[in-house]
Chain A
Amino acid sequence: MSRSNEYIEKPQTAVRPPNPRLKSWKSVFNKLKKNKSAVVGGILIILLIIIALVGPYLTPYDPLYDQDVTNKLATPTSDHWFGTDNFGRDIFSRVIQGTGLTLMIGFFSILLGATVGVFLGIIAGYYGKRTDSIIMRIMDVLLAFPSILLALTIVTVLGGNMFNVIIAVAVSSVPIFARIVRGSTLSVKKLEYIDAMRALGASDSRIIFKHILPNITSPIIVQATLSIATAILSASGLSFLGLGAQPPTPEWGAMLSDGRNYLYNAPHVALFPGLAIVVAVLAFNLLGDGLRDAFDPKTRE
């Protein structure tokens, strides 16, 4: 069985024809370069990553321990660009320090959620029948909880900390990946080359991972990018409710939750962490929109 596979692949490697998949990635990238929202989103994300990596070494104050108690709740000045909070800590340093946290929560929760969701979706779509209905009914149950409530339920059970927030957000993002991937798998499965592979005796796992998965990556990438935006919103929401990252962690949602108590006399405490969330979420939404247009065969070159 494996011999027939090798037989097909050998001449390919020998002659080295241009890899069609690589070419399509190139054309996607070219389209992306022309797409304003993708470029802006991409640049913003790169900036955020740089801030997350380098920022903590450059911040003028320690985000936790530099507490200037005599100067607390001070409005923005040249010393404290974003002002100080209720403990006299420099908000600018804390926002910078929180960048990495936010990106990590967004990235890892979607990495986890997408991996599980893609796996379940591809299995459901490929095997169909009972496997399909069992998996998709479970997904329906998860989708029956309105947006943030599922994450809230999970965090309540597991307890509020950042690791559990990642798990909670991951679980609530699983069904959407499963649905999308199942749909794409169903449409790819019908194509002739899959029948050809099966006729050649390729195993199920080989067909799934080498021939179906690479052809359904574009909807997964688009969804993952947009999901990171949602994940950042949900995670900061949970922290805002006191169910996620706990003070004094400089997580943006938790900082907002501190700031809400000082709206009357120090509104800047709530302003800047919120703006930071907006920028991060906006960046991923922009890139996601751009990717969707670039992958969409209907849009013109």
Chain B
Amino acid sequence: MFQFIIRRILQTIPVLIGVSIIVFSMMHLVPGDPAQVIAGEGAPQEQIDNIRERLGLNDPLPKQYLDYVTNAVQGDLGTSMRSGRDVSSEIGARFWVTVELAFYSTVLAVFVGLIVGIISATRKYSAIDTTLMLAALFGLSMPNFWLGLMLIQWFAIGIDLPSWVPFFSDTAWFSPSGWGSFSQVVLPVITLGTSSAAIIARMTRSSMLDVIGQDYIRTARAKGVKEQIVIYRHALKNALIPIVTVVGLQFGGLLGGAVLTESVFAVNGMGKLIIDSIQARDFPVVQGTILVASLLFVFVNLVVDVAYRFLNKRIDLD
């Protein structure tokens, strides 16, 4: 096990090098002179030369790359062109917002997805199963930015309710923007979590059906074990193994998917930082944020792989 973890960690090293090369090259692949791009059009030559010197753009590319990596490892991702602050402190302020958003969304997705999946699997081909799976398919097919806009319209701007409804005169229950208080968190989390909930529901259903069809479940039933116990203790336990991987991958994916959700709800996380910086052509921040998001994603995948190994002793990853 220990050996497996070490080997898995070593395997991520080439991936990290590749990611850093791509992120580093971004700046140089943008058409035109990066210094000119940063300084803006019509900037005096002197200022361009200044930026050139400060960013080390006169050095040969391999040296620039090594400098970039050396600095990045020490937590120095450069300076924001827009605010003049360190990129790492710009990201630091927003990192946890995005992680929180992705985490809450994953929790919601797992909760809803598991329940829906189990209900569907235990009532295979019934009307409930069909309805739930159709709903899951819709959840999967909805662009989350559109879902976000619709949720804002229905539950933040609100719809006037008829007078016979007690307590509420409209449905403006939640806040349409920002992050922090409960009313601000609800809508972004639903928006981001929906497609993952749908994926987990579908996965749970098919995984449960696979397991329920196996001999040992028939044996348990033949022994007269209660159906509840067959489903939850015997079937679900084994069905969960592939689901863990999906959940982990979803959490990682949500870190990136948060870009659109954060943009819709004006949540000040890493995703919004990327979009704002792209629009302002603030490349050091774009580079830094994408680097951090990818590292986080790689790390999550690593943890998922190890967890999978713990749960399923049968697989051999060689």
A residues near B (Cβ < 8 Å) are 137-138, 140-141, 144-149, 152-153, 156-157, 159, 229, 233, 236-237, 240-243, 253, 256, 259-260, 263-264, 267, 270-271, 273-274, 277-278, 281-282, 285-286, 289
Contacts and interface: CB of A to CB of B under 8 A. Distances in A.
B256 A146 contact: yes
Given A277-B146, A278-B146, A260 B260 contact: no
A156 B145 CA distance: 20
B138 interface: yes
B18 A277 contact: no
B140 interface: yes
Nearest to B257: A147
Given A141-B18, A144-B19, A156-B30, 12 more contacts: A144-B18, A146-B257, A153-B23, A153-B290, A156-B286, A159-B31, A237-B260, A267-B153, A267-B157, A274-B146, A274-B150, A282-B137
B9 interface: no
Determine which residue in B145, B263, B286 has the highest number of CB atoms from chain A within 10 A of its CB, and name it.
B145
Interface string B251-268: 011011101100110000
B149 A156 contact: no
B29 interface: yes
Interface stretch (B82-90, B236-244, B293-301, B303-311): B293-301
Determine which residue in A141, A152, A229, A277 has the highest number of CB atoms from chain B within 10 A of its CB, and name it.
A141
B143 interface: yes
B26 A153 contact: yes
A144 B137 contact: no
Chain B interface, DSSP helix/strand/loop, else mixed: helix
Contacts of B253: 146-147
A156 B297 CA distance: 20
A151 to B, nearest CB: 10
A45 B140 CA distance: 17
B22 interface: yes
Nearest to A256: B146
B297 A140 contact: no
Given A159-B31, A236-B143, A242 B279 contact: yes
Contacts of B141: 229, 278, 281-282, 285
Contacts of A159: 31
Nearest to B253: A147
B189 interface: no
Contacts of B31: 159
Interface residues of B, number: 43
A156 B157 contact: no
Contacts of B293: 145-146, 149
24 contacts: A141-B18, A144-B18, A144-B19, A144-B298, A146-B252, A146-B293, A147-B253, A152-B290, A153-B26, A156-B30, A237-B260, A240-B143, A241-B259, A241-B263, A260-B264, A263-B149, A267-B157, A270-B146, A270-B153, A273-B146, A274-B149, A274-B150, A281-B142, A282-B141
Given A137-B18, A146-B257, A149-B256, A264 B263 contact: no
B143 A233 contact: yes
Contacts of A233: 143
A230 to B, nearest CB: 10
A286 B142 CA distance: 13
Interface in B117-172: 137-138, 140-143, 145-146, 149-150, 152-153, 157
Given A156-B286, A256-B145, A145 B19 contact: yes
Determine which residue in B141, B275, B279, B298 has the highest number of CB atoms from chain A within 10 A of its CB, and name it.
B141
Given A144-B15, A277-B146, A152 B153 contact: no
Contacts of A240: 143, 145, 260, 263
Contacts of A259: 149
B62 interface: no
A271 B19 contact: no
B18 A138 contact: yes
Contacts of A152: 259, 274, 278, 290
B303 to A, nearest CB: 14
Nearest to B202: A289
A260 B149 contact: yes
B153 A263 contact: yes
A256 B26 contact: no
Given A137-B14, A138-B18, A263-B152, A146 B157 contact: no
B103 to A, nearest CB: 15
